[in-house]
Every structure is written in structure tokens, then in C-alpha cells.
Chains A and B, each alone.
Chain A
Amino acid sequence: MVIKGRNAAAIAIIVAIAAASPFIFIFGNDYITGTLTRILILGLLVLSVELAWGQTGMFTLGQAVFFGVGAYSAAVVAKDYGITDVIAILSVAGFAGLIIGLLIGAFLFTGRRVSELYVALFTLALAYAAQRLATSWSAIGAANGIPGIPFPTLFGLKLDSGPILFYLALVVFAIFFFICLWVVNSQFGLTMNAIRDDEERAEFFGYRRQTIQVLVFTGTAGLAAVGGGLFAITEGFVSPSLLGIALSTSAVLWVVLGGKGTFLGPLLALAILQILDRRMQDAFPQFWPIAIGGLLLITIVFLPKGIMSIPQVLRERKSQRVLRHSAPIREDIQ
């Protein structure tokens, strides 16, 4: 893998979080630790949306379904079967996500091509149906979800404090983050981008559009499910809202705000909003959701490529101004 500017920055961020974390625990408290752990876990969900939508062009509005499947399977395995080993739990969660993802991906992307908006509506309807199902299914706790999931263990050691769970989340996040970077920078990643930019042309070039889309979709489902599994064992409870439209659309919102097509922007947007979230909900409990909607609307209208494109937009403004002052431009080519 060639380490280019953007990747170097990403790696620097991971290293910086790891290096700064001891200070966070010395000066911080449970609340800060909990927030950071949650950012890393939701980061996995954001990565999966970015891979599916930002890199491959599959507009998924229901990625939380896989997150929730991972969370529920981890909860059932840990609580009902008494398996607490982290690696085993996350493998089960990831595997559950892969299977569901494969089924849905194969259904959506093999055979005749479907439009992007069909994928969006399909996944949205799926998230709706999944949440309804989980809310009414008594075997998995119906509307109450599954509380009291035991702390995970690693090689027999109990991982039962905030900082340790944070490091667990950091390690898992770092592993999958590097896998994502590696995939996107490989030849396969270029093929994904080709399909995103023009499905038909990629097919004409001889790429197996269907296989690649199903593969990527399955992979992102597994990734989201690992995130869900991690959520279940660190938070200690799961509820039907993990499967639903709200979390699915939030994940898309973070990607839009941060800038579709980059990894750093969406993660940055997630981190900023999560850090603000609790404080704003305390300060303005009623206006915070409205503000989020407003922020989304403003971003889509004025910054379609998200916060990561602000420098680019400013540069273009500047160069346009220079052009306007230097020479008259023919109107028909403007």
C-alpha cells in the first residue's frame, strides 16, 4: 500500500488518539471515555456507509439493520449462551452481518440493474420493517430490548472498566480502518470507484459489476455488524432502535456532512456531533434535532461535498474572482 497524503493523515489521527488517550484518562472522566468509545464504535458504522455509498455508489439508507443484527446476535450469544470471549462474540456478530448482508446484497444487485434510489428506498423500508419486527418479537425482548449483557473477556481476563473497553474499541476500529484504507487503495478499490462513477461503463470494460457490488455490500454489512457487536458488549444493552431508520439516517447524515468519498470527513463529522450531542441536548434539548436538520439542509444546498470540501470551495471562489477581474469571459462558455 502506498501511503499518500490523505492516508498518512488518517494514520496520524489513529496514532494521535492512541498517544493522547492516557492523558484523557488522567484528566478525563467516565463521560469522556464513554463518548470516545462510542465515537469509535459508531465510526465502524460510518466506515461501512462510506464504503458502500461513498466508494461504491450503493445508496444505503438502512445500514443500521446490520449494526443491529450484530448487536442482537452479540447480546444473545453473551447473555443466553454465556460466551463472553471478545473474539468469539465479534466473530459471531460479524458472521451474522455477513450472512444477512449476502442475502440482501444478492437480492438487490444480481440480475437486472436497479437504480440508486430503488436501493435507497429498499434499505429504508428494510430498516422500518426490521425495527417493527424487533419491537414486536418477544424472544429478543420486544420493545425493551436485551439489558444486562455481561462484560466481555479476552483470554479469560475480564474487560470491565471504561478505559479498557475504550482500548478494545480503539484496537478493533484501527484494524478495520486500515483494512478499509487498504481496500480503497487497491486495484479492487479503483474498480469500486469505477462502478460508483458509471455502472454501465464499468460493465462494458468487463468488470463483474454484480459480483463486486454483492461483495462490497456483504463486507460493509459485516463491518457494521462488528460495530453493533462491539456496541452491545460495551454498552451492556441493546434495543430495537439500533436496527431502525433513525440510526441508519444518522449514519448517512454523518457521511453527507463530512463529505461523501472521503474517510476522514465523515469520521470527523461523527466525532464533532457526538461530542456536541450530549452537551447540546442538555443545553437546548428541544432545538438540537431541529439544528441537525438545518445543518443537513444547509450542507446539501451550499456544500454538497461536505466539510472536507471547504478549502476547495474557498480556492475556487478565489480563482473565480481573479478571473472576473483579469479578462472578460464569453458568456456561453461560463
Chain B
Amino acid sequence: MDASLTRSIFDVLSVTSILVLLVMGMAVIVGMMKVFNLCQGEFVLLGALTAYLTYEIFGSVLLGILLAPIMVGAFGLLLERTVIHRFYANPQGALLATFAVGLIIREGLRTTMSTQASPVPAPISSSWVIFGATLPVWRIVIMAVTVALLIVAAVILIKTSVGLRVRATLNNPELASASGVSRKWMYAWTYATGSALAGFAGAMIVPLQTLYPNLGFDNLITMFIAVMVGGLGSFAAPVVGAVAIAVPGSIMSILINPVTAQILIVLCAIVFMRLRPNGLLKSGM
């Protein structure tokens, strides 16, 4: 295998793993809870901010990566108990309210940041040479973490009693609460988990990009399209959607140019969403 082909395959895998990592939180909140959460991008941003702050204060990005899910998860819990829980019967209201929350966070960061963009270094900055191509280790770490996290999430959802309760509550809230599951706290903690995943993803990917106020919002549309292509109603479908968007998208941006590729992917995805409104994993109505 020659170096450029290795590099291309690596890029495709890397872009895909990043999108899957970003979409996981959304798979919980949008996919499972069906809350159209327009501030999901800002959860990613808050995670990235945590990593940046721990780097500035304690000199450690790794600490930020560990703290990000806790901080953003706590924020998500607070947000659910104050705002989101009012809108489970009113999806339009949820969409607008989360948009407002996202706007506040985004603009709040824009006012407090002294520079336009702040770089955050990767905890591991070395790279490996494989088949003549130089591959940054941090991207490989992200791939490994993404796969590990997927396995953990699947095991929790399928094998544990917590996972069973979550699925039960989301599928049939009345029956679940009649069976003794606290619907209120189940929703709150599920939302918090989704936020924590997004915060973690933000802290993981910020070394690859830089910290800037639109970091989350720029990823939001792609994340949403991945969820819609995959389909609502489960954790797995959005993840499949992310792969289905990222693989052709990254191949096209290598072959043509990134901007055209991105516009084409968005257009293809929305046409696909129209033809199969239930996404890849479900057929028919």
C-alpha cells in the first residue's frame, strides 16, 4: 500500500469516527428522547471550553477531557429540570427553546473570549508512520475511544437494568411509570447523559480544531442530518446515519473539494430523508 492511499483511508476513518463520537450524545437526546435539541452543538462547545480552561489553568488537556462530561452533564441536568421538561408535549417549543439556549451560550462565549480562536494542544502530539504515511496518534486515540464508547453504550442499553428502564420509559412512559420507574428523573438523567456525551466529544475533538464560538453550531447541521438519515427511535440508528454521511462525505472531499462535497452531501441527505422519512434502519411507515 502506498502512502497517499493509506493517508486517504486513514482520513476517512478519522472523519467518520469524529462524527460518530459527536453524534452519540445526539443519538440519546434526539434519537431516543426525540427532543429536537438545537443546543446540542453548544454542549460540544462547552466540552471544548472545559478542555481549554483546564489547559490554561492546570496545563492539562487530559484533565479537561475527564471533567468535560461531568460539567456538561451537570449543565444538561440543570437545563432539563428548568426548561426542557416543559416541552416534551410541544416539540416546536423545544426546538425554539433549545435554539435560544444555544444562542445565549454561543454569544456568551463570544463576549468573554479575547481572541477569535484559541488552539488547544492534543494530549499526545506524536505520530506514527504506517506504510510511509505519517498518522497523528491523537486521531487514532479518538477512533479507539469512539469504538470503545459505542461498545459500552450498547452493553449498558441492552444488558443492564438501567438500560432496560431507559428504553422502557422512552418507549412507553405511562406503562413505565406505572411499573415503578420515575419518569421525571429517567428523562432528566437520560438528557444529562446525552449532554455529557456531547461534552466529552467536544473535549476530545477540540485539539484537532480550535476553540471558537461557532465550533458547535458549525457541526450541528451535519449532526442533525446524520440523525435524520439514520432515523429516530433508537440509539443505533443515528450512529449508522453518521457513518452513512461521513464515509461518502470524506471520500468526496478528497476526490472533489471539501465545500462542494459538503453541500452535495447535505442535498443528498435531505432528498433521502424525504424519500425515507424513517431513516435507514426502518422501512416504510
Contact = CB atoms under 8 A, between A and B. Distances in A.
A132 interface: yes
Interface of B: 36, 83, 86, 90-93, 95-97, 99-104, 107-108, 110-111, 221, 224-225, 228, 259-260, 262-263, 266-267, 269-271, 273-274, 277
A147 interface: no
Contacts of A289: 103, 107, 110
Given A133-B263, A289-B107, A294-B104, A117 B224 contact: no
A171 interface: no
Task: Determine the interface band of chain A, counting residues with CB < 8 A from chain B.
Answer: 35 or more
Contact of A249 (B92, B99, B228, B269): B99
B14 to A, nearest CB: 22
B228 A290 contact: no
A286 B111 contact: yes
Interface stretch (A19-27, A86-94, A106-114): A106-114
Nearest to A108: B274
Given A107-B274, A301-B86, A293 B221 contact: no
B83 A132 contact: no
Contacts of B263: 129, 132-133
26 contacts: A107-B271, A112-B277, A114-B277, A116-B92, A117-B92, A117-B95, A118-B274, A120-B36, A121-B224, A121-B228, A125-B224, A125-B269, A126-B270, A128-B221, A129-B263, A252-B96, A256-B96, A287-B111, A289-B110, A293-B100, A294-B104, A297-B83, A297-B104, A300-B96, A300-B97, A301-B83
A296 B225 contact: no
Interface in A281-300: 286-287, 289-290, 292-294, 296-297, 300
Contacts of B86: 301
Interface of chain A: mostly helix, strand, loop or mixed: helix
Nearest to B260: A136
A78 interface: no
A124 interface: yes
A122 interface: yes
Contacts of A293: 100-104, 107
Q: Which of B92, B225, B277 has the most CB of A within 10 A?
A: B92
